[in-house]
Chain A
Amino acid sequence: MKNDLLKIGDQELGSRLFLGTGKFSSTAAMIEAVKASGTELVTVALRRFNRAQAEDDLYGPLSELKTVRLMPNTSGAMNAKEAIRAALLGRELSKSPFVKLEIHPNPHHLLPDPIETYEAAIELVKQDFLVLPYIPADPVLAKRLEDIGCAAVMPLGAAIGTGKGLATAEMIKIIVRDADIPVVVDAGLRAPSEAAAALEMGCSAVLVNSAIAAAEQPAAMGAAFKAGVEAGRAAYLAGLMPTSETAVASSPLTSFLSGSD
C-alpha cells in the first residue's frame, strides 16, 4: 500500500513481510521465494567460510535483488559479547544498519535469552545500529528494550520451527498496545492466516522462515504469505467489528441516576 510504509528508525519499507533465508533446499529456491513474497527485508546469518564445502553463495544473488535489504542476525552467539561481535561483522559485510539481535543459548528450543539480549542491545544502540531484538513475548522486556533505544521489538509467536502459530497472542496484544515502536512477530508462524492474525492485532510486520522454506512449494507459499500479510493489514486499517460480549444484567445499574442534577 502506497501510504502505509513501515518505518523502522529512519528506514522505510514497503512490505510488512520479512523473510528468513535459512532451511531452503537451495539458494535458487530461496531467491524464488524471496521474489514471490515481495519482501524488502531478509535475514542472513554468519558462518565460517569453508572452501572445502561447496557452499551456495547467498550474498551474490541476494544483492542482485535491488529492492531487498539485508538484516544480518546474530544467531550462533551465546552471549552479549558474541552477539555484538556478530553484529559488527554483519554490518561490515552488508553495510546495512539493521541487525536482528538473537541470542539463544539452548540449541534445542532456541528460545531467546532476555538478559544477554538486553545487554547486547544497549551496546549496539550506542554503536548506531537499528536493533531489532528477538525476544520472548514479554511486555515488560519489550518496554525496557524500547526505553534503551531499540528500533523495533520482535516477540516470538512460538518457538522457532514449531509452527505453533501465535501461541503468545495475548502477550503480543499487550506489547502492541503499549509500544511506541513497531512490533514484528517472529518465529512460530506456520500459515498465512496466522500472519494475517498478527497484523490484525496491530503488529507492524511478521518475520517468516520455516513456514515458507519447508513448504511443499516455497515460492507459492511466499506469495500466499504476501497475500495474508496484506489482508491482515488492510483489515486492521479497516477496523474489525468487535467480538460479541453478552451483558448479563440482573437489575438495571443506572436507575440511581435522576433526570437532572
Chain B
Amino acid sequence: MKTLPDWLNPEPWLNREFTAADVQRAIYADAPNEKTLAALLSPTAGEFLELMAQRAQSITRRHFGRTISLYTPLYLSNFCNGGCRYCGLAADRRAQRTALSQEQLRHEMDAIQKMHFEELILLTGERVPEADVPYLCDCVAVAAEYIANVTIEVFPMAEAEYRQLADAGCTGVTIYQETYDPVVYEQMHRWGAKRDYLGRIDAPDRALRGGLRTAGIGALLGLADPRFDILCLYRHAKHLLKTYWQAGVSISFPRIRPQLGGFQPEHPVDERMLAQIIFALRICLPEVPLVLSTREPQRVRDGLAGVGISKMSVASKTTVGGYSTDSEESTEQFEISDDRDIPTFCAMLRAKGLEPVFKNWDSAYRGAAHYEKA
C-alpha cells in the first residue's frame, strides 16, 4: 500500500476550522502560504467568494495583464491499455480506437496552424505499442515544424525518454496526479503501469530534469476530498517552483461532472467549489498560470476568464485528430461543454476587456531542431 510522501502531506491544515477573520486575513495575505490556502479553501471562505474573486482578478491583472493565453489539445491516439475507472477510454470500455499516421498528423497541423494556435498539447493514453516514445518523438518533430510550443500530456516516462522528446522539439509536459490520496488512487487505477502512484508524482521532476521547460499539474476534481487534493497540489507546485526555478509551472482544473450512466465521483465538486479553488490558488500562487479547458460550460468559463484563470483552450476536439476535414471517426475522451469557435470565444473575451493571446514570444529564439534546418 503506497502512502502519501511526507513532503506532500497537508496536515496540520487539512481539517482546521477557520473563522471569518482568518479568511479575511487570508484573502489579503502579503506572503501567502499553506495556512492561507487552507483558510481560503475552508467552508467559511465559501461565504466570501465575491471578495476572493475581486482579489483574484486584481492579482491576475497584475501578473498576466488583461490577457488570456489560448491553446488547443490534439489527441494523437486513443489506444489505451489502462484501467482508470473514471475514463470512457479505459481498456475494457468499448471505443473506436485509432492513432494518427504522420500524414494524418500533417493534415491536422495544417488545420491547427490556420486557426492561428501557437501552443498545442499532444495527448495519448497509457503507453502502448501504437503510441510509444518513438511515435511521440516523430509527432512532436512534425508538430514543431508548424507551431512554436508543442507540449505533451501522455503517460509518465523515464528522464532519458523526456530528454528525447525535448530534443525532438517538445517544450513541456502536462500530467495530472488525478488524486494525491493513495487509497483512492489505488481504487481508481485498476491495473497496469498507471498504478505506480509514486512514479506519477515524480514524473514532472523527471520531465524538467530531462530538459522540458514547463510542467502542468492538476488533480481530477471529484475523485477524493478536493481540499486534500488541492493542498497537496499546492505543495507539489511549490516543490517544482523551488527546485526547477528556471521552469514554468501551471495548474489545471479538470473536474468530473456526474453523468447519467457514467462514473459517479465520490466527492463531486460544484461550480462554487471550483470557483473557490481557483480563486484560492490564484491568491496563493500569484504568478502561476491557471488553466481552464472546454470541459467546463460557457457560463463558467466566461465568469472565470481573467478572474484567476489566465489560460484557456478553445475550439477543442477530444476525438483523435478532429481538426482537419478528413479526420477519422473515434470516441471522444470527454464531452466538450464549450464548443464555441475561436471568433465567438475571442469576441466574448474582448467584451470582458480581455485580449486573447496565441503566441508565446520567447519561443522565437529557442534552439529547437526545426530552426536549425537550412
Contacts and interface: CB of A to CB of B under 8 A. Distances in A.
Interface of A: 143, 173, 177-178, 180, 201-202, 240-245, 247-249, 252-254, 256-261
A256 B299 contact: yes
Contacts of B299: 256, 258
Contacts of A249: 50, 54
B300 interface: yes
A202 B30 CA distance: 12
Nearest to B298: A256
Given A178-B245, A256-B302, 7 more contacts: A242-B25, A253-B50, A256-B299, A257-B271, A257-B300, A257-B303, A259-B272
A254 B303 contact: yes
List 5 A-B pairs, minimum CB-CB distance, nearest first. A256-B303, A247-B54, A253-B53, A261-B270, A242-B28
Contacts of A177: 31
A254 B50 contact: yes
Contacts of B242: 178, 180
A256 B300 contact: yes
27 contacts: A178-B241, A178-B242, A178-B245, A180-B242, A201-B31, A241-B25, A242-B29, A245-B55, A247-B51, A247-B54, A247-B55, A247-B58, A248-B54, A249-B54, A253-B50, A253-B54, A254-B53, A254-B275, A257-B49, A257-B271, A257-B300, A258-B299, A259-B272, A260-B271, A261-B257, A261-B269, A261-B271
Contacts of B29: 242
Interface string B36-71: 000000000000011101110110000000000000
Given A249-B54, A257-B275, A261-B268, A243 B302 contact: no
A240 B241 CA distance: 25
B219 interface: no
Interface in B7-37: 25, 28-31
Contacts of B271: 257-258, 260-261
Given A180-B242, A258-B271, A261-B270, A252 B50 contact: yes
A9 to B, nearest CB: 19
Main secondary structure of the interface of B (DSSP, over half): helix
Contacts of A247: 51, 54-55, 58
B249 interface: no
Contacts, number: 61
B202 to A, nearest CB: 18
Contacts of B25: 241-242
B307 interface: yes
Nearest to A253: B53
B303 A253 contact: yes
Contact of A243 (B28, B49, B241, B268): B28
A244 B268 CA distance: 35
A214 B242 CA distance: 39
Contacts of A252: 50
A58 B365 CA distance: 55
Contact of B31 (A143, A202, A248, A259): A202
Nearest to A252: B50
Interface in B242-301: 242, 245, 257, 268-272, 275, 299-300
B306 to A, nearest CB: 9
A261 B268 CA distance: 9
Counting chain B CB atoms within 10 Å of each CB, the highest count among A173, A259, A260, A261 belongs to A261
A260 B257 CA distance: 12
B303 A245 contact: no
A70 B57 CA distance: 50
Contacts of A254: 49-50, 53, 275, 303
A260 B302 CA distance: 17
A178 B245 CA distance: 8
Nearest to B272: A257
A155 to B, nearest CB: 16
B31 A245 contact: no
A236 to B, nearest CB: 10
Contacts of B300: 256-257
A252 B53 CA distance: 9
B275 A244 contact: no
A245 B28 contact: yes
A241 B31 CA distance: 10
Contacts of B302: 256
A256 B278 CA distance: 15
A248 B50 CA distance: 12
Nearest to B270: A261
A194 to B, nearest CB: 18
Counting chain B CB atoms within 10 Å of each CB, the highest count among A143, A173, A201, A256 belongs to A256
A6 to B, nearest CB: 19
